[in-house]
Amino acid sequence: MYNQTEIIKDTTALGPEGELVINMGPQHPATHGVLHLVVTLNGETIKKIEPHLGYIHRSIEKMCESLTYRQFIYVTSRMDYLSSHINNTACALLIEKGMQIEVPERAQYVRVILNELTRIASHELWIGAMAMDLGAFTPFFYAFREREMITDIMEDTCGARLTMNYIVPGGLMYDIHPEFQNKVKAFIKQFKEKVVEYEDLVTNNVIFQSRTVGVGILSAQDAISFGCTGPVARASGVRCDIRKIAPYDVYDKVEFDEVIETAGDSFARYMVRIKEMNQSIRIIEQLIDSIPEGEFVGKTKNVLKLPKGEFYQRVETARGEFGVYIVSEGGTTPHRIKFRSPGFSNLSALSHMAEGSKIGDLMATMGTLDLVIPDIDR
Amino acid sequence: MFSLEGLTTATQDWLLIKFNPTIALAMECVIVILLSITLFALLGLVLVLMERKVAARIQIRLGPNRVGPGGIFQTAADTLKLIMKEGLTPDHADKFLFNLAPFVVMMVAMLLLAPIAFAKNFQIWDINIGVLYISAISSLSVIGILMAGWASNNKYSLLGAMRSGAQIVSYELSAGFAVLTIVVLTGSLQISEIVAAQENGWWLFKGHIPVIIAFVLYIIAVTAETNRAPFDLAEAESELTAGFHTEYSGMKFALFFLAEYINIFIVCAIGATLFLGGWMPFHIGHWEGFNHIMDYIPSSIWFMGKTFFLIFIIMWFRWTFPRLRVDQLLNLEWKYLLPISLFNLLLVTIVAIMGWHF
Amino acid sequence: MTNEKIKEYISTYAPNVIYDETGEWLNLILEATEWQKLASVIKEPPIQMDFLFCLTCVDWKTHLTMVYHLSSTKHRQNIVIKVNLAIDQPIINTVSAIWRTAEFHEREVFEMFGVDFINHPDLRKLILEDDFKGYPLRKDFEDPINMIKL
């Protein structure tokens, strides 16, 4: 980490051989949050990228050590704020696994629908942000038009638009809104009509393609070695969808394809996310009409106590594999909790992917990694 | 019929009666300066508002709609805000050059106004090398940008300035060649003669293929020359925060901002003059009645209409396309646009020599 | 590939490994000195644990335990490696050359737990400030200003 005086010193001094060291971030339009990259440039060409993290580190892992198993879920919404439902699901699943709590089918169905809606919302935001990184402002507003419908559904369901805290160990906090199914169907209808516009505006755009095709290539081998997951790894041809590998909730009952591209470049990552949204729609369509009646939360004790031992739960967030690792001593609070965040591993590949390319390529690469900084810093 | 020509002639006659010629000339200069400054201020307000409204329309938003009816005073309020702001000069910056740069950029934009024919016989200076003058002066704006980038003592600014330098210098060539196409056809460098040559039809609609190619090249090249998206690498927001004007604030920033819009206006005005007939009304062959009605529309409105149409096209580009990468930008110019321009010039020269044009 | 086969294969390279199958996945408890050698063995076929998806450390007050969660993208098999370290001088070999994601994860563990990774290419603080004192995720970490005490 650079302290204040060093940053100033750095910006005024040229490195050896005419290298230019620039601090990209913590306040920079393209880092979408407080990521700090120290980029060594030779003219326009990137020689080295060093991420410096911690500007939004809240030490959630330490915090959770003094929170009970009912409380700590709410903190996880604040990590990857674009997949808060999925983070909550991961924690709930882990506790249900540890304490062998039966989750009612209704809750499982709603969880999967909400998770997929969250995934679409996250990808929508990502398209907008990425297009903006590449200098196109308009797709952002197109993407937000559809995302707004999802956040409205979320608001109806749980009163919040970003940090939902709706999923609790045993099921859901409340039953769904009576209009939930209709609204989701309305959303699906609109989404299917409007997703064509993205194709016209972004996918088929010549400049967009020339900016992304062949940029930031990550081979399958490197993707595995760097621990990349989610769309980043799938764009390199690695099968890593936790929904397929270790299905949770009702993912084993629905039909969907794991989207795989093999090029490994920014455009492949873009295509994976676009196709993934369509797969998410497919999952929701299969479930939305058949949400079973019944309880929305299973029977749980008021005070949850995980048995002594170690538990690990993996889920697939919009960014990749999210893992919760809890070491329990049998009490009401965890002894050690570790969140395996997808962004942290994906970020570690950035330097490898962007070295030797131009500054503009760094934006295309970083944009398609879909970094959420609170998720990386935790 | 309303005409600006009468106004200017009357003013000049009156001045010449009242004063001796030297003083009259001096007073005319003052009037012209005041008028062009007013035009600048007005253009800045109108174009920024237009940009925001066009952007809003494209982005399914409403745009500014709070200050004044339909938000028309929004830009005036913004300007007021910028005037109130403190103009910071960063430590370690070259203070003289840093403060000079916005004025250089602004002055270049002002100089370019001289040979533009705003209406029939309404022109500040009908210089006989008008087109050459425009190409020569418009290259100077890069000096202001480089000055701003270097003097800011900021690496982002420096990168932005370097990109801008490379970009403007290369795209100047294509723009120049596109302009030369018309010069070859007209056989004159004087703006008034170029306009006069289009009396029986605008160059773009006369059906010369080289002219159509030149028009497309011209629009691409001037979009790049004015640092507009998709060629806004010099101020690429997501890459270099704000490029060469990262460190500017308050009115100094506003001058850069204004100069950008003025430059757009000027290149579009030149484009309208060369390809769309300047202030010439739209005529269709032998439709006497139609042509007569068109003649009733004042020439200044024709000129402004054409210019704003071209400005709209350039704004449309900005809100639709992503930004090019720096190497792609230079590839586009040196590998595609420049050879096409040269070939096009050759083609049009053959047309002119053989006398195939009309 | 079953757990039995993995055990059998690993035993030929590291006979002193203790196995624990009470949890969801097969746990291997081994010595810090064995880890470097074993890591390169299990990365390669036939076990091919090529995907290190979680690397962390647990403070047991008496000792630290490094925990590596490994997965095989080929066999879809997960194993957990645990290495106990002394709390006063935690030293272990780096695996950042074998699984490159470990570079960042080890830097995080280094600053949060104070584990020293031998041969790590760039062992500096990643998240905390350079002059930060103490190891925040250890159980004995106290910060009177921010009222952190377990």
| Closest alpha carbon within chain A to B92 | A12
pLDDT in tens, A318-340: 888 888 898 888 888 888 888 88
Cβ-based contacts under 8 A for chains A and B: 89
3-state SS assignment for residue A160: coil
- Pick the more confident residue, B2 or B303: B303
Decide if B328 and A22 are in contact by the 8 Å CB cutoff. Answer: no
The answer to whether A356 contacts chain B (CB < 8 Å) is no
CATH of domain C3-87: 3.30.460.80
Q: What is the pLDDT of residue C150?
A: 65
Decide if A358 and B326 are in contact by the 8 Å CB cutoff. Answer: yes
| Closest alpha carbon within chain A to C137 | A62
What b-and-e string marks burial along A29-41, b requiring 16 or more CB atoms within 10 Å of the CB? bbbbbbbbbbbbb
Decide if C53 and A226 are in contact by the 8 Å CB cutoff. Answer: no
Residues in A closer than 8 angstroms to B236, CB to CB, are: 135, 360
Decide if A135 and B237 are in contact by the 8 Å CB cutoff. Answer: yes
Mean pLDDT, chain B, rounded, equals: 83
Q: Which of C53, C130, C150 sits opposite A1 (nearest CB)?
A: C130
Strand ranges (E), chain B: 117-119, 122-123
**Average pLDDT rounded to a whole number, residues A238-244:** 86
Q: What is the pLDDT of residue B2?
A: 61
Residues in A closer than 8 angstroms to C59, CB to CB, are: 336
| Closest alpha carbon within chain A to C72 | A224
User: pLDDT tens digits for chain C (150 residues)?
Assistant: 677 777 777 777 777 778 887 777 888 888 888 888 888 888 877 778 888 888 888 888 888 888 888 888 888 888 888 888 888 888 888 888 888 888 888 888 888 888 888 888 888 888 888 888 888 888 888 877 777 676
Spatial separation of the C-alpha atoms in residues B59 and B62, rounded to whole Å = 9
Interfacial residues of C (vs A; Cβ cutoff 8 Å): 22-25, 50-54, 56, 58-59, 67, 69, 73, 76, 80, 99-101, 103-105, 108, 125-131, 136-137, 141, 148, 150
Long-range contacts formed by C54-58: CB under 8 A, 24+ apart:
C54/A312, C54/A323, C54/A325, C54/A338, C54/A340, C54/C105, C55/C101, C55/C102, C55/C105, C55/C106, C55/C109, C56/A325, C56/A336, C56/A338, C56/C105, C56/C109, C57/C109, C57/C112, C57/C113, C57/C115, C57/C137, C58/A327, C58/A335, C58/A336
What is chain A's length? 378
Q: What is the pLDDT of residue A15?
A: 54
Decide if B230 and A135 are in contact by the 8 Å CB cutoff. Answer: yes
Decide if C51 and A336 are in contact by the 8 Å CB cutoff. Answer: no
The C-alpha of A336 sits at a distance from chain C's nearest C-alpha, in angstroms, of: 6
Decide if A348 and C103 are in contact by the 8 Å CB cutoff. Answer: yes
Interface partners of chain C (CB pairs < 8 Å, 3 or more) are A
pLDDT in tens, B310-324: 999 888 888 888 888
The answer to whether A229 contacts chain C (CB < 8 Å) is yes
Decide if A138 and B58 are in contact by the 8 Å CB cutoff. Answer: yes
Residues A344 and A361: beta-carbon distance below 8 Å: no
The C-alpha of C8 sits at a distance from chain A's nearest C-alpha, in angstroms, of: 24
The DSSP string of A14-71 is --GGG-EEEEE-SS-TTTSSS-EEEEEEETTEEEEEEEE--TT---HHHHHTTS-TTT
A72: closest CA among A328, A346, A352?
A328
Decide if B156 and A132 are in contact by the 8 Å CB cutoff. Answer: no
Q: Which of A59, A65, A345 sits opposite C101 (nearest CB)?
A: A345
pLDDT in tens, A178-231: 888 888 888 888 888 888 888 888 888 888 888 888 888 888 888 888 888 888
Element (H, E) at B348: helix B338-354
Q: What is the pLDDT of residue A9?
A: 47
B314: closest CA among B232, B188, B220, B203?
B220
Spatial separation of the C-alpha atoms in residues B240 and B220, rounded to whole Å = 23
Q: What is the pLDDT of residue A17?
A: 63
Spatial separation of the C-alpha atoms in residues A311 and A304, rounded to whole Å = 15
Is the pLDDT reported for residue A5 higher than 50? no
Q: What is the ipTM, given to two decimal places?
A: 0.87
Q: Which of B155, B239, B328 sits opposite A210 (nearest CB)?
A: B328
- Pick the more confident residue, A142 or C146: A142
Interface partners of chain B (CB pairs < 8 Å, 3 or more) are A
Decide if B238 and A44 are in contact by the 8 Å CB cutoff. Answer: no
The C-alpha of A234 sits at a distance from chain B's nearest C-alpha, in angstroms, of: 25
Question: Which residue matches tokens 């010099």?
Answer: B234
**Average pLDDT rounded to a whole number, residues A347-371:** 85
A24: closest CA among A3, A40, A38?
A38
Decide if C100 and A225 are in contact by the 8 Å CB cutoff. Answer: yes
From residue B299, alpha-carbon distances to A306, B279, B302, B312, C131 in Å are 84, 5, 5, 20, 72
Q: Which residues contact A302 (CB under 8 A, 6 or more apart)?
A: none
Q: Could you tell me the pLDDT band of residue A7, with boundaries at 50, 70 and 90?
A: very low
Mean pLDDT, chain A, rounded, equals: 84
Q: What is the pLDDT of residue A14?
A: 52
Q: Could you tell me the pLDDT band of residue A8, with boundaries at 50, 70 and 90?
A: very low
| Closest alpha carbon within chain B to A136 | B322
Q: Could you tell me the pLDDT band of residue B134, with boundaries at 50, 70 and 90?
A: confident
pLDDT in tens, A74-117: 888 888 888 888 888 888 888 888 888 888 888 888 888 888 88
Q: What is the pLDDT of residue A60?
A: 86
Spatial separation of the C-alpha atoms in residues C127 and A60, rounded to whole Å = 13
The DSSP string of B56-124 is HHHTTS----SSSGGGTTHHHHHHHHHHHS-----TTS-HHHHHHHHHHHHHHHHHTTTT-EEETTEES
Q: Could you tell me the pLDDT band of residue B3, with boundaries at 50, 70 and 90?
A: low
Q: Which of B241, B322, B326 sits opposite A205 (nearest CB)?
A: B322
Decide if C127 and A240 are in contact by the 8 Å CB cutoff. Answer: no
Cβ-based contacts under 8 A for chains A and C: 95
Tokens of C150: 């377990």
Decide if B155 and A137 are in contact by the 8 Å CB cutoff. Answer: no
Q: Which residues contact A359 (CB under 8 A, 6 or more apart)?
A: A39, A41, A44, A46, B159, B239, B240, B326
Residues A268 and A262: beta-carbon distance below 8 Å: yes
What is this structure's pTM?
A: 0.85
The C-alpha of C93 sits at a distance from chain A's nearest C-alpha, in angstroms, of: 18
Residues in B closer than 8 angstroms to A197, CB to CB, are: none
Cβ neighbours around B83 below 10 Å, total: 11
The C-alpha of C4 sits at a distance from chain A's nearest C-alpha, in angstroms, of: 21
Spatial separation of the C-alpha atoms in residues A134 and B233, rounded to whole Å = 11
Spatial separation of the C-alpha atoms in residues B70 and B81, rounded to whole Å = 20
The answer to whether A362 contacts chain C (CB < 8 Å) is no
pLDDT in tens, A293-311: 888 888 888 888 888 888 8
| Closest alpha carbon within chain A to B329 | A207
What b-and-e string marks burial along A112-131, b requiring 16 or more CB atoms within 10 Å of the CB? bbbbbbbbbbbbbbbbbbbb
pLDDT in tens, B224-272: 888 887 888 777 777 777 778 888 888 888 888 888 888 888 888 888 8
Q: Which of C58, C80, C128 sits opposite A1 (nearest CB)?
A: C128
Where do the domains of chain A lie, and which CATH numbers do they carry? 4-52 (no CATH), 60-215+288-377 (1.10.645.10)
3-state SS assignment for residue C30: strand
What b-and-e string marks burial along C7-44, b requiring 16 or more CB atoms within 10 Å of the CB? eeebeeebeebebeeeeebbbbebebebbbebbeebbe
Q: What is the pLDDT of residue A16?
A: 59
